[in-house]
Structures are given as C-alpha cells and as structure tokens.
Amino acid sequence: MALLAAGLASAAWATNGSCPHGFDLKAKGMGGASIALAQDGFAGVNNPAAAMFSGSRMDIGAEIFRPYRDAQFVGQTPVVDSGRTAFLIPEFGYSAKLSERMAVGLTVYGNGGMNTSYAPFPNGVNLLGGQGKLGVDLMQVIVAPTLAWQVADGHALGVSPLLVLQRFEAYGLQAFAPQSSDPANLTNRGKDSSTGVGVRLGYFGQLGDRVTVGAAYSPKIRMSRFDKYRGLFAQAGDFDIPAN
C-alpha cells in the first residue's frame, strides 16, 4: 500500500529551513523523535535530563544538506537558480555518568543551510530590483554544556546553558532602501555577528521496561543586535531565537 501511494502521489519538496528535523543520526531516522529517548550524547539539544541514562559516550556526525532553490517573477523574468546547493552541518555530543545520581555532557550543534545566492540578470539588476547578486546567509552555532541528576529512581532533571553565536549577511536588497529606517545599514554590509545566552530544561522518566516519557523547554533567547543590518531587521537589528 505504501509503494502504491508513493507511486500515485505527485512530487513535493520541503525543508525545515534553518532548524533541522532532528539531531544525531538516530533521531533523524525517526523523524526527530528524541525527547523521551536516552540513545545518544545529544542531550544538550534534545533533553538535558536524558544524559543521566545515556551512559558514557561520544557521538560525532555531519549532515550534507542539498536544497535546490529557484525563483522568478512569472511572466516577467526567467527562472534564476540559487548558486549555493550544498552545506556541511557538523554536530558533536558527549555524555559521562559521574555517579548513580549525576551525569554531565556537552553538545555542540548548528542551524543553517538555507543560504541563497541568486545571480543578477545581464543588465546587473537582480530579481528584487537591486544591484548585483541577491541573497542571504544565516548561521547559528550553539554550545550546550549539560548537567543531569536523578531525583528518584528512574526519574531525572537536567539543565543545559546555551551559548549562542549567530552570523548573518545580506546583499542585493538596495530596492528596499526607501522603506528602511536606516538605508545605510540595510544590505551589502558584509558579515555581522550576534551573541546570546539561553537555557534548556528537561525531565526524563522511566515508567517501566517499555515506556519512557520526557519533556524539554527552552525560553526565548535574546540575542545582541545585528548592528550592520539594523535597517533590515525590526527593532534596529534584533533577531532573537524563539522559545521551543
């Protein structure tokens, strides 16, 4: 039935943008399921409390993300392909059980891979009416040290401070200058960086040999402003990371 459905379905492509559907190969293979599973060293990004039950281990991985993008004004311009189609996204996870009641870990992971670079038309004008290449580049790297402790047999709490670095660049957006509050810091300003500190909290419970439950929460991370692009982003360059 699955093969028949696949054969009859029309083609569709989608991506989660700057946030992948899972971290570590095991979670990716299960559609991102990870909150109630202690199966790898990525507790810092999935559920900090899971470090208590994942044992002492180290996981290293990398994803090759290949999104193909094109754009056009239908009936007005030819199709323009984005020149960036391959992105390497590494990840690292480590956990160590210190005692029957305490474990530590470290997770380093990144978000990104939806960067674009559209070539201009022969007259030098790009798809949005600006000059030269048109595109954006957003990258996030998060370092998450982790502490987990077993508050009762089979039940643990965990916490991971989140140390975040963002990098952003935009070019070819000159046509938006009349609508910008700061046209001099709107586009083609090179790479700019932003930093912030957040936290992820977690609970993990073993309810039996076959059932585990988990919960994790990270409040909004307030990032420093992208000063070079305060004419592009709202609130003078503000680009925070939402709660999840």
The domain limits of the chain are 18-237
Among the ranges given (73-77, 104-108, 143-147), the one the predictor scored with the smallest mean pLDDT: 73-77
pLDDT in tens, 178-198: 999 999 999 999 999 999 999
- Provide the terminal-to-terminal Cα distance of the chain, rounded to the nearest Å: 35
What CA–CA distance (Å, rounded) separates 124 from 183? Answer: 20
Task: State mean pLDDT over 118-143.
Answer: 93
What CA–CA distance (Å, rounded) separates 70 from 135? Answer: 12
How many CB atoms lie under 10 A from the CB of residue 79?
8
Q: In the predicted model, is pLDDT for residue 11 greater than 90?
A: no
pLDDT value at residue 87: 84
CATH topology of domain 18-237: Porin (2.40.160)
In the structure encoding, which two tokens stand for residue 198, read together? 């957040």
Task: State mean pLDDT over 135-163.
Answer: 96
Instruction: Report CA Rg, the chain.
Output: 22
What CA–CA distance (Å, rounded) separates 231 from 244? Answer: 27
Task: State mean pLDDT over 140-168.
Answer: 96
Tell me the whole-structure pTM to 2 decimals: 0.86
